[in-house]
Amino acid sequence: MPVDFEFAKEQEDVRSTVREFAEKYIAPRVVEFEEKQLIPPEIVREMSRLGLFGILFPEQYGGLGLDPVTAGIVLEEIVRADLTFSLAVAYLVHTSWGYVAYKYGNEEFREDVIRRAATGDVWIGIATTEPGAGSDLTGIATAARRDGDGYVIAGEKAYISGVREAKERGVWFPDGGGHVTLAYTDKSKQHRGMTLFFVPLTDPNVSIRLEKEFGRKGWSFGSFVLSDVRVPERYRIGEEGRGFYIAMEGFDHARAYIALACAVGGKRAIELALEYAKQRRAFGQPVASFQGVQFQLADNWAALEAAHALAYKALWALKMEQEGRIGRFEVTRITASAKLFAVQAAKRAIDDALRWYGAYGYTEENPVALALKAVKSYDWAEGSLDIMRLIVAREVVGREYTSKRK
C-alpha cells in the first residue's frame, strides 16, 4: 500500500461539519466546562444528533459505519475547540470502548445496548481500575458469579471517567450510561479468569462517589460500588475468561485517540500562546521575536508533527486490524508507542508555550493552562507511561526477555 497523507473528500466533509459544530456550540462555552464542572447537556445532545457517538458502529445498528481514522478527524476538531479535553474524554472513551463492546457483544446485546449507544441514548465507559489495582489488573477484587440466567457482580471501581453522566438518566444521555467492567469469574486462573460485563450505572445497586479532578473537570471522575448488581447474560462482553485480553484491545483503541488528542492539543496550545506572544512586548520587541522562544517553538512543533503522524499511524493500524491485515501485537506496539511519545511531547510543548504568557499563564481562565492539566491526566489514564514503556520494550526486545513479576 502506498504511503498517502491525504484524507478522502468524505473525511474532509466530516471535518468541516464537525468544525462548524465545534465553533458554534463548543468554543463559546468552554469556560463553563471548568467553572460549572460540567458540559452543558445541549452540547452532548447536539453531538448525538450529528451521530458522533455512533461514528464506528455499523449502519445496521444506527451508527455511521465510519473508520477509526475518520473518528480521529472528529476528535481533532473537538480538541481544537475544547482544550480542557472534557469533551474529548466523553467522545474518545465511548468511541473506543463502545466499539470493543460492539465487537465482542452478542446479537441481543447489540440490539439492546449498541443500538442506543449509536444514537447517543446510552454512553459507554470503561471500569478496570480499583482502589487496590490499576496497572496490575490481576489485583482486582471485583467478582461476578453466575446466578440463573445472568450474573451477580460485587466490588468497587475507582478513578473512573463519566460516572455522573452514566448515573444520571435523562441529563446528558436519555438512558444514562454504563461501563465495560472487568471482574473475576474465576480468580484461581488469574488474568485468564477475568470477564467483561456491561454494567448500567443507573442500576439502583450501583452507588457513585465523585473525586475532585485536577483538570478536565467538565466530565466527571470518581468511583462506584457494585452491591450485588444483577446483569443479564447478554451483558457479558465476550467469552468468560477473555475479559483481560479484550480489555487490552480496548486500551489500544483509546491510546491511539489519546495520542491524537495530545498532538492536536499541543499544536493548538502553541498557536494560541503564539497569538499572545506576537502582541506582548518586552525589551522593545514582541515576545515571539526572541530566538529563545522560536527555538523552543521549533523543537516542540517538530515533536508534535511526529506525534501527530504517529497517532494517525496508530488509528490506521486499528483500521488495518479491523480488515484483518495486521496482527494484534503489532497494533499494541504502535498504539503504546504513540501514547508514550505524544503525551510527553504535548506536556513539554504546552508547558513551554504557557511560559510565553508570563503571569497570565498562571490563571485558571488561560486555555493553555487548562490544556496542561488535561494532558497530565494521560500520565495514567488508559495505562500509565511506564506501562507503555513495558509494552514497547516487550514487543521490541521479545517476550522471552520480559522480566518475570511475582
Ligand X SMILES: Cc1cc2nc3c(=O)[nH]c(=O)nc-3n(C[C@H](O)[C@H](O)[C@H](O)COP(=O)(O)OP(=O)(O)OC[C@H]3O[C@@H](n4cnc5c(N)ncnc54)[C@H](O)[C@@H]3O)c2cc1C
Q: Report the nearest approach of ligand X to the CB of residue 405 (Å).
A: 7
Are 222 and 207 a contacting pair, CB within 8 Å? no
Least distance in Å: CB of 85 to ligand X? 9
Options 6-14, 113-121, 153-161, 254-262: segment touching ligand X (CB under 6 A): 153-161
Q: Which of 375, 391, 394, 368 is nearest to 259 (CA)?
A: 375
Which triple of cell numbers denotes residue 282?
518586552
Q: Examine residue 11 and tell whether it contacts ligand X (CB under 6 A).
A: no
CB-nearer residue toward ligand X: 317 or 381: 381
Burial (Cβ within 10 Å: 0-12, 13-18, ≥19) of residue 292:
exposed
Minimum gap (Å) between residue 183 Cβ and ligand X: 12
Q: Is 60 in the site for ligand X (CB under 6 A)?
A: no
Q: Binding to ligand X by residue 127, rule CB under 6 A?
A: yes
Interaction between residue 336 and ligand X (CB under 6 A): no
Closest distance of CB 307 from ligand X, Å: 20
User: x-or-dash pattern for ligand X, window 350-379, by CB under 6 A?
Assistant: ---------------------------x--
CB atoms within 10 A of CB 371: 31
| Residue 232 C-beta: closest distance to ligand X, Å | 23
Q: State which of residues 102, 123, 173, 221 lies at the interface with ligand X (CB under 6 A).
A: 221
Indicate the residue whose CB is closest to ligand X.
134
| Strand ranges (E), 110-193 | 123-127, 143-147, 150-161, 177-184
With respect to ligand X, which residue has the nearer C-beta, 70 or 161?
161
Give, rounded to a whole angstrom, the gap between the first and last alpha carbons of the chain. Answer: 43
- Residue 135 or residue 289: which is nearer to ligand X going by CB? 135
Q: Which of 162, 269, 153 is nearest to 206 (CA)?
A: 153
Q: Does 159 contact ligand X by CB under 6 A?
A: yes
Q: Position 133: which residue type? A: A
Choose, by CB under 6 A, the member of 41, 134, 232, 241 that binds ligand X.
134
Question: Min. distance of Cβ 396 from ligand X in angstroms?
Answer: 16
Helices (H), ranges, 28-161: 30-32, 41-49, 68-81, 86-104, 107-109, 115-118
The grid coordinates of residue 346 equal: 504535548
- The sign of the CA dihedral 214, 77, 179, 31 is positive
**Single residue of 78, 153, 160, 226 touching ligand X by CB under 6 A:** 160
Alpha carbons 10 and 27: distance in angstroms, whole number? 24
Query: CB under 6 A: which stretch of 100-108, 159-167, 298-306, 334-342 binds ligand X?
Result: 159-167
185 binds ligand X (CB under 6 A): no
For the CB of residue 198, give the shortest distance to ligand X in the complex, in Å: 14
Instruction: Give DSSP secondary structure letters for 243-293.
Output: HHHHHHHHHHHHHHHHHHHHHHHHHHHHHHHHHHHHH-EETTEEGGG-HHH
Check residue 386 for interaction with ligand X (CB under 6 A): yes
| Residues 393, 400: Cα–Cα separation, whole Å | 11
Identity of the residue, 292 or 398, whose beta carbon is nearer to ligand X in the bound complex: 398
Number of residues that bind ligand X (CB under 6 A): 19
| Contact between 402 and ligand X per CB under 6 A | no
Q: Is the dihedral of CA 20, 22, 24, 27 positive or negative?
A: negative
Which residue number, 135 or 190, has a Cβ lying nearer to ligand X? Answer: 135
Q: Please identify, using beta-carbon distances, which residue of 235 and 378 lies nearer to ligand X.
A: 378
Partners of 224 in the beta sheet? 157, 208
Question: Which three-class secondary structure state does DSSP give residue 39?
Answer: coil
Which of 25/219 has CB closer to ligand X?
219
* Contacts to ligand X by CB under 6 A: 125-129, 134-135, 159-161, 221, 377, 380-381, 383-384, 386-387, 390
